[in-house]
A and B are shown apart, each in its own frame.
Chain A
Amino acid sequence: GNSVTQMEGPVTLSEEAFLTINCTYTATGYPSLFWYVQYPGEGLQLLLKATKADDKGSNKGFEATYRKETTSFHLEKGSVQVSDSAVYFCALHGGSYIPTFGRGTSLIVHP
């Protein structure tokens, strides 16, 4: 079956540092890949997505590239802010409308 593996958190950074959150997946076929963000006390929000190999999704300074050869979709941001502190979820949809989620990675950004 499909699976998504994220790096365990928390990831703790200083403001303006570079962020990478690793995500790798196992899936049959050609899934679409997603990053969701959950701010404290809120539900998940779609952050970005990529629907085919080599696509780059981007939003709010975050980027992720769909790498079929390494089955990865790592989330990056060049300069994080305190307001980026949240939990980030990687997910895939593999032809079914039910996605497979990673367990989430908590990001804490200090001033």
Chain B
Amino acid sequence: DVKVTQSSRYLVKRTGEKVFLECVQDMDHENMFWYRQDPGLGLRLIYFSYDVKMKEKGDIPEGYSVSREKKERFSLILESASTNQTSMYLCASSGTNYGYTFGSGTRLTVV
């Protein structure tokens, strides 16, 4: 069964910490994405990547960066975590048929 795996389901971090969220897919997909999901706001695109070492800003990139050194792995980095980054983070990948495969999500709490 094809999978997108996010490294943590729940994470609690302190304000100012550098936070790494990891995502790995086993489908050889070119495209990978990071979203955050907040009540009433739906899914908002943070960053995406269409190839190794390539990255593009989404709608809300401020306070985040990404890394894609290998095709199967796409990391989201919170440079200095703040309380307004408390959210559910969803990673997804897609191939050429458009449909997305999502990971189970990481619920991040910044205290």
Residues of A within 8 A of B (CB): 32, 34, 36, 41-46, 49, 89, 93, 97-99, 101-104
Count of B residues near A, CB < 8 Å? 23
Closest to B102 in A: A43
- On whether the beta carbons of B43 and A97 are closer than 8 Å, the reply is no
- On whether the beta carbons of A43 and B105 are closer than 8 Å, the reply is yes
SS class, residues of chain B in contact with chain A: strand
Q: Which residues of A contact B104 (CB under 8 A)?
A: 41-43
Q: Which residues of B contact A103 (CB under 8 A)?
A: 40-42
In the assembled complex, the CB of A7 is this many whole angstroms from the nearest CB of chain B, namely 14
Q: Which residues of B contact A45 (CB under 8 A)?
A: 102
In the assembled complex, the CB of A71 is this many whole angstroms from the nearest CB of chain B, namely 18
Given the contacts A101-B43, A103-B42, A46 and B31 also touching, CB distance less than 8 Å: no
Closest to B40 in A: A103
- On whether the beta carbons of B98 and A104 are closer than 8 Å, the reply is no
How distant is the Cα of A93 from the Cα of B96 in the complex, in angstroms? 12
Pick the residue among A32, A46, A93, A97 that contacts B101 (CB under 8 A): A46
Q: Which residues of B contact A44 (CB under 8 A)?
A: 43, 90, 92, 100, 102
In the assembled complex, the CB of B32 is this many whole angstroms from the nearest CB of chain A, namely 11
B27 proximal to A (CB < 8 A): no
- On whether the beta carbons of B31 and A97 are closer than 8 Å, the reply is yes
Residue from the set A43, A98, A99 with the largest chain B CB neighbour count within 10 Å: A43
In the assembled complex, the CB of A87 is this many whole angstroms from the nearest CB of chain B, namely 10
How distant is the Cα of A38 from the Cα of B101 in the complex, in angstroms? 12
- On whether the beta carbons of B41 and A97 are closer than 8 Å, the reply is no
Q: A43-B104, A43-B105, A44-B100 given. 16 additional CB < 8 A pairs?
A: A32-B98, A34-B99, A34-B100, A42-B105, A43-B90, A43-B103, A44-B43, A44-B92, A45-B102, A93-B98, A97-B98, A98-B33, A99-B98, A99-B100, A102-B42, A103-B40
How distant is the Cα of A14 from the Cα of B105 in the complex, in angstroms? 29
Given the contacts A43-B105, A97-B50, A98-B48, A49 and B99 also touching, CB distance less than 8 Å: yes
Given the contacts A44-B100, A102-B42, A97 and B90 also touching, CB distance less than 8 Å: no
